[in-house]
């Protein structure tokens, strides 16, 4: 289990330049020098806590399905400091269900169909037009900025041109240190991450205070924060200011940042796979040919018809493994396959071990969207965990797909691009582009 207190934390955060399972997990799944096999389930210690790490899809499925009975959501203290004591992963039972309903008011299907679908397309077209006038752009940064502006405007009516403090800059500092060694010393990425969170929370707190003092806003003029404040005003409301702040903070993060590395990777894969790019382009040009008004926005029906696009998205998410680990905690001693997971121990589910298993996905390190022609994602949750599983399946899963599909539609129907430099990946264990991914965008017209 590694060094005292520190455990194997240093190995866990050791960078890897491969799409393959992180060496920290992979080497424990193989025979070691003394012919002792750890197997797909092993114990370790990370950031001071004993953990059982699971690279076994059957155990992973059990962990997700038995939440509230055998397991509950839990994350290490370093994570809780980043996302707050009142974040969704720390809430259980009725309070979690209530918070999930608030998430769905923003990311649920009605708002996706009626508002966010068109907003994402409008912003994507605007950004692509701007990028096409530049020698090159760093794609992940620009995609993150694009999505952030859409989300921040809908959440809190944020306009970077009129705000006195740069919310995006503080949020960027938070993002850069999110998956870093948890050493809270000035100068470290983790310290800057905590400072970024503190600044963002203070800005949100001021906004909530202003809204609480002003008259309620209704109709089309109301943003998501107005609905949250309305909940806070209710007598005997389950919502507290702390939960409300962490809710809005989590929505800013989850809906804007988690899709950007995956979407960047999708563009990189398409640039390297002309056949996939051609089939994707054909699908979207067919949508345009069947549309009565060429310049009208994407409809929900058109979005749902993008079969090959979803194959590209699923394959990208499988290889990207944006959420490299998912944490839970054992509520009681759990006996499984001759082993005991002690009560109170953390359980670290490792989705990449499933997504990159050659017994499940042939040639797992190869980008092959056609493999999804015969796979049914929803029926294979134990083999595809890009959005988690069980009752805590990511509420923003559909929105992430909307963001990716709409951007790809705008890109391949109106533009072409070439790689300028960068594109190498690094896992720490989260997915990063250490040298960026710089592309030049050209209009097709």
**CA–CA dist 340, 213 (Å, integer):** 54
In a domain, 262, yes or no: yes
Structural domain includes residue 346: yes
**Crossing angle of the two packed helices 259-272 and 139-156, in degrees rounded to 10:** 140
410: Cβ contacts below 8 Å, ≥ 6 apart = 121, 124, 125, 128
The predicted-structure confidence for 277-308, as pLDDT tens digits, reads as follows 999 999 999 999 999 887 788 999 999 999 99
User: Do the domain assignments include residue 1?
Assistant: no
38 sits in which H/E element = none
**Half-sphere exposure at residue 424, Cβ-oriented, CA atoms within 13 angstroms:** 9
pLDDT value of position 382:
78
Both tokens assigned to 288: 């345009």
pLDDT value of residue 412: 98
The verdict on residue 90 lying in a domain is yes
Mean pLDDT of the chain: 87
DSSP-assigned states of every residue in 94-115: HHHHHHHHHHHHHHSHHHIIII
The pLDDT > 90 percentage for the chain reads 44
Residue 395 · residue 100 · CB < 8 Å? yes
End-to-end CA distance of the chain: 59
Structure tokens at 444: 């097709």
Residue 274: the pLDDT is 97
Please tell me the predicted confidence (pLDDT) of residue 177: 66
DSSP, collapsed to helix, strand or coil, labels residue 261 as helix
CATH of the domain at 382: 1.10.630.10
pLDDT band at 379 (very low <50, low <70, confident <90, very high): very low
Boundaries of domain holding 130: 9-443
Give the integer Cα–Cα distance in Å for 190 and 194.
6
Q: Could you list the beta-strand ranges (E) of 297-344.
A: 326-330, 334-336, 339-341
Q: Is the pLDDT of residue 220 over 70?
A: no
391 CB-near residues (< 8 Å, 6+ apart): 64, 67, 68
Looking at residue 413, its pLDDT comes to 96
Taking residue 222's Cβ as centre, other Cβ atoms within 10 Å add up to: 14
Has residue 2 been placed in a domain? no
- 4 belongs to a structural domain: no
Q: Is 76 left (phi over 0), alpha (psi -120 to 50) or beta?
A: beta
Q: Where are the beta strands (DSSP E) in 256-315?
A: none
List the alpha helices (DSSP H) in 321-372. Answer: 351-355
Q: How far from 390 is each of 28, 195, 259, 327, CA to CA, in Å?
A: 27, 33, 21, 13
Report residue 34's pLDDT band, with 50, 70 and 90 as the boundaries: very low
Task: Tell the burial category of 152 from Cβ atoms under 10 Å away from its Cβ (0-12, 13-18, 19+).
Answer: buried
If one counts the domains in the chain, the total is 1
Closest listed residue to residue 48, CA positions, set 99, 107, 6, 89: 6
H/E run at residue 139? helix 139-156
Pairing of β 334-336 and β 41-46: unpaired
Is-cis flag, bond preceding 429, omega within 30?
A: yes
Rounded Cα distance, 49 and 351, in Å: 20
Inside any domain, residue 3: no
Q: What is the mean pLDDT of residues 92-96?
A: 82
Is 193 known as a binding-site position? Answer: no
In a domain? residue 25: yes
Q: How many residues does the chain have?
A: 445
Q: pLDDT band for 376, please (50, 70, 90 cuts).
A: low
Each residue of 157-198: pLDDT tens digit? 888 776 655 777 777 767 666 666 777 888 887 888 888 888
Judge whether 403 and 127 are in contact, CB under 8 Å: no
Q: What is the pTM of this model?
A: 0.91
pLDDT, one tens digit per residue, over 329-345 is 999 999 988 889 999 99
Contacts of 437 (CB under 8 A, 6+ apart): 138, 139, 140, 264, 267, 268, 419, 422, 423
């Amino acid at each position: 289990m590694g060094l005292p207190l520190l455990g194997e934390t240093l190995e866990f955060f050791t960078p890897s330049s491969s799409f393959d399972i992180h060496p920290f997990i992979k080497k424990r799944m193989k025979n070691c020098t003394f012919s002792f096999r750890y197997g797909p389930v092993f114990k370790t210690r990370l950031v001071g806590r004993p953990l059982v790490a699971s690279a076994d899809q059957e155990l992973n499925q059990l962990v997700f399905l038995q939440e509230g009975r055998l397991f509950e959501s839990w994350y290490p203290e370093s994570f809780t400091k980043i996302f707050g004591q009142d974040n969704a992963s720390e809430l259980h039972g009725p309070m979690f269900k209530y918070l999930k309903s608030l998430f769905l008011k923003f990311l649920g299907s009605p708002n996706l169909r009626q508002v966010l679908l068109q907003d994402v397309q409008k912003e994507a077209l605007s950004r692509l037009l701007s990028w096409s006038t530049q020698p090159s752009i760093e794609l992940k940064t620009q995609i993150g900025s694009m999505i952030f502006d859409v989300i921040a405007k809908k959440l809190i009516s944020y306009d970077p041109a009129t705000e006195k403090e740069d919310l995006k800059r503080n949020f960027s500092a938070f993002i850069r240190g999110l998956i870093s060694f948890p050493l809270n010393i000035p100068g470290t990425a983790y310290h800057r991450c905590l400072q970024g969170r503190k600044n963002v929370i203070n800005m949100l707190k001021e906004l909530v205070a202003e809204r609480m003092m002003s008259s309620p806003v209704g109709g089309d003029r109301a943003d998501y924060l107005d609905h949250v404040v309305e909940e806070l005003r209710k007598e005997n409301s389950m919502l507290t200011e702390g939960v409300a702040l962490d809710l809005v903070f989590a929505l800013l993060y989850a809906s804007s940042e988690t899709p950007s590395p995956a979407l960047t990777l999708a563009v990189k894969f398409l640039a390297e796979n002309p056949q996939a790019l051609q089939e994707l382009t054909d699908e979207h040009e067919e949508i345009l040919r069947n549309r009565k008004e060429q310049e009208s926005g994407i409809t929900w029906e058109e979005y749902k018809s993008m079969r090959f696009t979803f194959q590209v998205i699923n394959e990208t998410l499988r290889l990207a493994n944006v959420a490299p680990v998912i944490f839970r905690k054992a509520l009681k001693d759990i006996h499984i396959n001759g082993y005991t997971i002690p009560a109170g121990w953390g359980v670290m589910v490792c989705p990449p071990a499933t997504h990159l298993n050659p017994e499940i996905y042939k040639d797992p390190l190869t980008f092959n969207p056609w493999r999804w022609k015969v796979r049914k994602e929803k029926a294979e949750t134990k083999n595809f965990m890009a959005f988690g599983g069980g009752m805590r399946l990511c509420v923003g899963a559909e929105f992430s797909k909307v963001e990716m599909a709409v951007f790809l539609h705008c890109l391949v129907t109106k533009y072409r691009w070439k790689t300028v430099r960068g594109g190498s990946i690094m896992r720490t264990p989260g997915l990063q582009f250490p040298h960026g991914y710089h592309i030049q965008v050209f209009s097709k017209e």
